[in-house]
A and B are shown apart, each in its own frame.
Chain A
Amino acid sequence: MRRKLALMTGAGSLCGVTPALANGWNMPVGVTDVSRDIHSLHMTIFWICVVIGVVVFGVMFYSLLRFRRSRHTDSANFHENTTVEILWTTVPLLILVGMALPATATLRQMYDTSEADLDVMITGQQWRWRYEYLGEDVGFTSSLSTPRAQITGEEERQEHYLLEVDEPLVLPVGRKVRFLMTADDVIHSWWVPELAVKQDTIPGFVNENWVRINEPGIYRGQCAELCGKDHAFMPIVVHAMESDEFDTWLADRKEAAAQEALGVDREWALDELMERGEQVYNSVCASCHQVDGSGSEPAFPALAGNEQLLSDVEFHIDVVLNGVPGTPMAAYRNNMNPVELASVITYERNAWGNETGDAVQPSEIQSRLE
Chain B
Amino acid sequence: MALNQLPKPTPQHSTATAAGGVAEETHDHHDQPPRGALRWLLTTNHKEIGSMYLIFSLTMFFIGGIFALVVRAELFQPGLQLVQPEFFNQMTTMHGLIMVFGAVMPAFVGLANWMVPLQVGAPDMALPRLNNFSFWLLPVAFTLLLSTLLMPGGGPNFGWTFYAPLSTTYGPPSTTFFILSLHIAGISSILGAINIIATILNMRAPGMRMMDMPLFVWTWLITAFLLIAVMPVLAGVITMMLMDINFGTSFFTAAGGGDPVLFQHLFWFFGHPEVYIMILPAFGIVSAIIPTFARKPLFGYASMVYATASIAILSFLVWAHHMFVVGMPLVAELFFMYTTMLIAIPTGVKVFNWIATLFRGSITFETPMLFALAFVVLFTIGGFSGLMLAISPADFQYHDTYFVVAHFHYVLVPGAVFSIMAAVYYWLPKWTGHYADERLGQWHFWTSVIGVNLTFFPMHFSGLAGMPRRIPDYSLQFADFNMVSSLGAFMFGASQLIFVWVIIKCVRGGVKAPAQAWEGAGDLEWTVPSPAPLHTFETPPEFKPTSH
The residues of A with any CB-CB pair to B shorter than 8 Å are 24-28, 34, 37-38, 41-42, 45-46, 49, 52-53, 56-57, 59-60, 63-64, 67-69, 72-81, 84-85, 88-89, 92-93, 96, 99-100, 103-104, 106-108, 110-111, 150-153, 157, 159-163, 185-187, 189, 191, 193, 196-200, 202-205, 207-208, 221-233, 298-299, 325-326, 328
Asked if A45 and B465 make an inter-chain contact with CB atoms under 8 angstroms apart, the answer reads no
13 residue pairs of the A-B complex, CB under 8 angstroms, read A25-B481, A41-B394, A69-B363, A72-B363, A75-B295, A79-B13, A79-B299, A107-B334, A161-B476, A199-B325, A207-B327, A232-B474, A325-B255
A-B pairs with lowest CB-CB distance, top 3 = A204-B254, A232-B471, A207-B327
Asked if B464 and A26 make an inter-chain contact with CB atoms under 8 angstroms apart, the answer reads yes
Q: How far is the CA of A67 from the CA of B469 in the complex (A)?
A: 43
Asked if A203 and B260 make an inter-chain contact with CB atoms under 8 angstroms apart, the answer reads yes
B401 within 8 Å of A by Cβ?
Answer: yes
When the two chains form the complex, which single residue of A67, A72, A204, A298 contacts B260, counting CB atoms closer than 8 Å? A204
The chain A residue sitting closest to B401, CB to CB, is A224
Q: How far is the CA of A104 from the CA of B394 in the complex (A)?
A: 11
Asked if B355 and A60 make an inter-chain contact with CB atoms under 8 angstroms apart, the answer reads yes
> Which B residues, 364 to 422, have Cβ-Cβ distances below 8 Å to chain A?
364-365, 373, 376-377, 380-381, 384-385, 387-388, 391-394, 396-397, 399-401
Q: How far is the CA of A38 from the CA of B296 in the complex (A)?
A: 44
When the two chains form the complex, which single residue of B341, B352, B365, B380 contacts A88, counting CB atoms closer than 8 Å? B352
Question: Given contacts A37-B393, A205-B254, is CB(A229)–CB(B86) below 8 Å?
Answer: yes
Question: Given contacts A73-B362, A151-B79, A157-B476, is CB(A79)–CB(B397) below 8 Å?
Answer: no
Q: How far is the CA of A196 from the CA of B396 in the complex (A)?
A: 7
Q: How far is the CA of A64 from the CA of B399 in the complex (A)?
A: 36
The chain B residue sitting closest to A34, CB to CB, is B393
Q: How far is the CA of A178 from the CA of B456 in the complex (A)?
A: 37
Interface residues on B, range: 35 or more
Asked if A226 and B361 make an inter-chain contact with CB atoms under 8 angstroms apart, the answer reads no
Q: How far is the CA of A202 from the CA of B78 in the complex (A)?
A: 29
Q: Report the minimal beta-carbon distance from B273 to chain A, rounded to whole angstroms.
A: 22
Chain A residues near B153 (CB, 8 Å)? 298-299
- Using A42-B397, A81-B356, A107-B334 as known contacts, list a sample of 14 further A-B pairs with CB atoms less than 8 Å apart, ordered by residue number in A: A24-B477, A59-B359, A68-B363, A69-B362, A75-B295, A88-B352, A89-B349, A103-B393, A203-B165, A222-B466, A224-B468, A226-B469, A228-B166, A231-B470
Q: How far is the CA of A39 from the CA of B5 in the complex (A)?
A: 54
Asked if B330 and A67 make an inter-chain contact with CB atoms under 8 angstroms apart, the answer reads no
Q: Report the minimal beta-carbon distance from B479 to chain A, rounded to whole angstroms.
A: 10
Chain A residues near B166 (CB, 8 Å)? 186-187, 226-228
Asked if A161 and B78 make an inter-chain contact with CB atoms under 8 angstroms apart, the answer reads yes
Q: Report the minimal beta-carbon distance from A219 to chain B, rounded to whole angstroms.
A: 11
Asked if A205 and B261 make an inter-chain contact with CB atoms under 8 angstroms apart, the answer reads yes
Asked if A56 and B363 make an inter-chain contact with CB atoms under 8 angstroms apart, the answer reads no
Q: How far is the CA of A60 from the CA of B393 in the complex (A)?
A: 32
Q: How far is the CA of A75 from the CA of B341 in the complex (A)?
A: 35
Chain A residues near B157 (CB, 8 Å)? 228-229
Q: How far is the CA of A232 from the CA of B80 in the complex (A)?
A: 11
Asked if B548 and A223 make an inter-chain contact with CB atoms under 8 angstroms apart, the answer reads no
Q: How far is the CA of A233 from the CA of B163 in the complex (A)?
A: 19
Chain B residues near A232 (CB, 8 Å)? 85, 468, 471-474
Question: Given contacts A63-B355, A79-B548, A89-B345, is CB(A151)–CB(B80) below 8 Å?
Answer: yes
Chain A residues near B461 (CB, 8 Å)? 25-26
Chain B residues near A326 (CB, 8 Å)? 169
Chain A residues near B163 (CB, 8 Å)? 186-187, 225-226
Chain A residues near B295 (CB, 8 Å)? 69, 75
Q: How far is the CA of A163 from the CA of B476 in the complex (A)?
A: 10
Asked if A100 and B326 make an inter-chain contact with CB atoms under 8 angstroms apart, the answer reads no
Q: How far is the CA of A291 from the CA of B530 in the complex (A)?
A: 68
Asked if A199 and B400 make an inter-chain contact with CB atoms under 8 angstroms apart, the answer reads no
Q: Report the minimal beta-carbon distance from A303 to chain B, rounded to whole angstroms.
A: 20
B89 within 8 Å of A by Cβ?
Answer: yes
Chain A residues near B6 (CB, 8 Å)? 69, 73
B358 within 8 Å of A by Cβ?
Answer: yes
Q: How far is the CA of A370 from the CA of B33 in the complex (A)?
A: 79
Q: Report the minimal beta-carbon distance from B459 to chain A, rounded to whole angstroms.
A: 11
Q: Report the minimal beta-carbon distance from B11 to chain A, rounded to whole angstroms.
A: 5
B301 within 8 Å of A by Cβ?
Answer: yes
Q: How far is the CA of A73 from the CA of B334 in the complex (A)?
A: 50
Chain A residues near B255 (CB, 8 Å)? 203-204, 325
Chain A residues near B365 (CB, 8 Å)? 68
Question: Given contacts A63-B359, A80-B299, A103-B337, is CB(A46)–CB(B393) below 8 Å?
Answer: no
Q: How far is the CA of A197 from the CA of B327 in the complex (A)?
A: 12
Q: How far is the CA of A161 from the CA of B474 in the complex (A)?
A: 8
Asked if B361 and A76 make an inter-chain contact with CB atoms under 8 angstroms apart, the answer reads yes
Q: How far is the CA of A64 from the CA of B364 in the complex (A)?
A: 9
Q: Report the minimal beta-carbon distance from B1 to chain A, rounded to whole angstroms.
A: 12
Chain B residues near A46 (CB, 8 Å)? 388
Q: How far is the CA of A159 from the CA of B461 in the complex (A)?
A: 20
